[in-house]
Structure 1
Amino acid sequence: MTQKQIERKSLIVSCIVNLIMAIGGFWIFSITNIQALFLDCSFSMIASCSCLAALEISKISNKKTKNYPDGLYFLEPLYSIFRTLLTLVLLFSSVARTAKAAWGYFVYGVGTPLMIEPVIPYEILMCIICFGLSFFNRSQSRKTNDSSTLLATESKGNFIDGILSLGVALSAFLIKLIDINGSLGFLHYTGDFFITTIIVLPAIKEPISVFISSFRELSGGLTTNQELKRTVFQFVEKNLSGIMTLQKCDIYKIGMHIKVYIYITNNIDYKKIQTVKRNILKDICPIYENAEIVFCEW
């Protein structure tokens, strides 16, 4: 199975599982009207819909055109950027909605007690599924030697969804233990705000890290993937040893496409270069299927 096939298979599984979670989430939200649940199920729905887009991108990204002779791999980090931006908007908008409700209770004394009974078992189940799906996508990504930007994005997204579910379950359990007529009884009315805020703050880190990584790929920055750099540099040195003097080796990654610029000294023997290039690709391609080697004069 090729790396692209592994990627597409994983995206199909993610799409189906996220859709099931989203439907279940909206059903529970319609019963409880808890905004933290709306955040959770909306996240699952976004994940399911975005998986469909990711599937299409996975199919066409390696196609070369007249205007894009290296392929359409730039669509992969572009997808990740839009996905993470949408995630961040959803996180912040959920905090804003719950803050408005909490403000209404504290200032005007208007509010409705949270219905938390159906939440705990549902969120525990969702937490298990999300972490399981995150582990699945992470393990599938490793099968592509972490070259798949799409699977990395999905794995991070599943992990965030799992954190959201875990946070809601724990918070709902704690609120259930609080006497509504006690000193902390206000949490039965405003707990939704505190739950959502506590969940969002640590969850922000993951989409931001994916955004930075994807932006670096899209803007043509050198890869920061240490395993990729170590592997490629090892093969380059091995095949150049005793034949040419290596001055510098720059590695760029755009989606699943790896482009290696090898800088060597002048007086280049082009026949030797072709031989060395074939040997390097022979070593790299079993690990990173979509690799390209470019020799440059130093």
Structure 2
Amino acid sequence: MKQRQIERQSLIISIIVNAVTGLAGLAVYIVTDLNALLLDGVFSLIASLSALVGLFISRRSHWRTASFPQGLFFLEPLYAVIKSLAILFLLLITFLETSATAYAYFVNQIGHQIETGPVLPYTMTTGLICLLLGLYNSRQNDRINNMSTMLKSETKGNYIDAVISLGIGFAAFLLYFIAIEGPLGFLHYTGDFFITVILVLFSIKEPIAILISSFRELTYATTNDQDIRDMVYQILKPHLKHKKDDLDILIYKQGMQITVKIFILDLENTDLLTDLAQEKADLLNQLRKRYEHIRVEYTF
């Protein structure tokens, strides 16, 4: 199965699963008025919507146009950047909302008791589903040599969603053992805030990491993916081992496209130029056995 087919298959499953868990989360939020569940439900719906956009991009990023003759691969890291920003914005909004609720209780003694009835079965179920979905997307990306920026973003999002769901469930479970008249009784009114703070602290690292790596791809920086670098150099080595002192090799990755730029330092060596020209086709064939969208450029 081609790389694009595997990517699209994963995105379709992500769309369906995230939509179901997101709508379920909003339904339980309406019953319980637990803001952390709003975060959980909206997070899943954003993941479903973004996977739908990702599916559209996956079908078109390889298209070539007059303005983008090498393809629209930049759309893939752009997708990951926007999704990461949306996740960070959602985490911030939820944190501010629950902070306002906690402030109202501690300062003005205004609050509503948290209803935990359906929370535990919902969070345990969705947490497990999100974890399995993350493992599935990660496995699918492994099948295509971790080339999909979008599946990498989806996988991280699935794991964050699982942490949010399981964290809410664990906190709801603890409330069963805390007496509302006891010294920790305030958690029945403000536990939402403390749950959200902990979840934000645990979850914020991943979207920031994806944002940084995707921004590097979007701006066409040289790749820092060591697995790709090692594999490309391994394939290049038998072709260029006797010429490496006269060459400088840079590797770029943008979405599923890899560009290998070979800078020729000794322009007076005509034998070198002839050998490189003759070996280019064979070199590309070897590289394309591993990477579907890859090109080699000689630069003088």
Tell me which interval the TM-score lies in, with the shorter structure as reference length.
Answer: over 0.9
Match for residue 294 of structure 1 among 287, 292, 297: 297
Aligned counterpart, 1:261: 261
Q: Residue type matched to 2:287 in 1?
A: I
Distance 1:61 1:268 in 2: 38
CA RMSD of aligned residues (A): 1.2
TM-score scaled by structure 2? 0.96
Q: CA offset at residue 282 of structure 1?
A: 1.5
Q: CA offset at residue 97 of structure 1?
A: 0.3
Q: CA offset at residue 286 of structure 1?
A: 1.7
Asked if the contact 1:84/1:207 (under 8 Å) is kept, the reply is: yes
Q: Residue type matched to 1:273 in 2?
A: L
TM-score scaled by structure 1? 0.97
Aligned counterpart, 1:144: 144
Aligned counterpart, 2:280: 277
Closer, same or farther in 2 for the Cα pair 1:268/1:210, shift >3 Å? Answer: farther
Q: CA offset at residue 202 of structure 1?
A: 1.4
Aligned counterpart, 1:93: 93
Q: Residue type matched to 2:122 in 1?
A: Y
Moved more, 39-48 or 245-254: 245-254
Q: CA offset at residue 244 of structure 1?
A: 6.5
Identity of aligned residues (%): 42
How do 1:101-116 and structure 2 match up within 5 A? 101-116=101-116
Q: CA offset at residue 263 of structure 1?
A: 2.1
Distance 1:149 1:268 in 2: 40
Aligned counterpart, 1:217: 217
Aligned counterpart, 1:65: 65
Unmatched 5+ stretches in structure 1: none
Asked if the contact 1:240/1:276 (under 8 Å) is kept, the reply is: no
Q: CA offset at residue 272 of structure 1?
A: 2.8
Distance 1:268 1:294 in 2: 18
Q: CA offset at residue 103 of structure 1?
A: 0.4
Aligned counterpart, 1:226: 226
Distance 1:217 1:184 in 2: 48
Distance 1:288 1:51 in 2: 23
Distance 1:243 1:252 in 2: 21
Distance 1:273 1:5 in 2: 33
Unmatched 5+ stretches in structure 2: none
Aligned counterpart, 1:20: 20
Aligned counterpart, 1:124: 124
How do 1:158-197 and structure 2 match up within 5 A? 158-197=158-197
Distance 2:279 2:143 in 1: 27
Aligned counterpart, 2:81: 81
Number of residue equivalences = 297
Q: CA offset at residue 88 of structure 1?
A: 0.2
Distance 1:103 1:161 in 2: 26
Distance 2:23 2:41 in 1: 7
1:190-212: per-residue Cα shift (whole Å, max 9, x none)? 00000011011110000000000
Distance 1:244 1:172 in 2: 61
Distance 1:247 1:184 in 2: 68
Distance 1:268 1:110 in 2: 82
Distance 2:41 2:270 in 1: 59
Distance 1:244 1:85 in 2: 41
Asked if the contact 1:22/1:45 (under 8 Å) is kept, the reply is: yes
Q: Residue type matched to 1:165 in 2?
A: S
Q: CA offset at residue 271 of structure 1?
A: 4.5
Q: Counterpart of 1:177 in 2: which secondary structure? A: coil
Q: Residue type matched to 1:291 in 2?
A: I
Distance 2:244 2:90 in 1: 53
Q: Stretches of 4+ moved more than 6 A in 1?
A: none
Aligned counterpart, 1:155: 155
Moved more, 243-252 or 168-177: 243-252
1:58-92: per-residue Cα shift (whole Å, max 9, x none)? 00000111110110000000011000000000001
Distance 2:39 2:30 in 1: 13
Distance 1:255 1:10 in 2: 16
Distance 2:198 2:57 in 1: 34
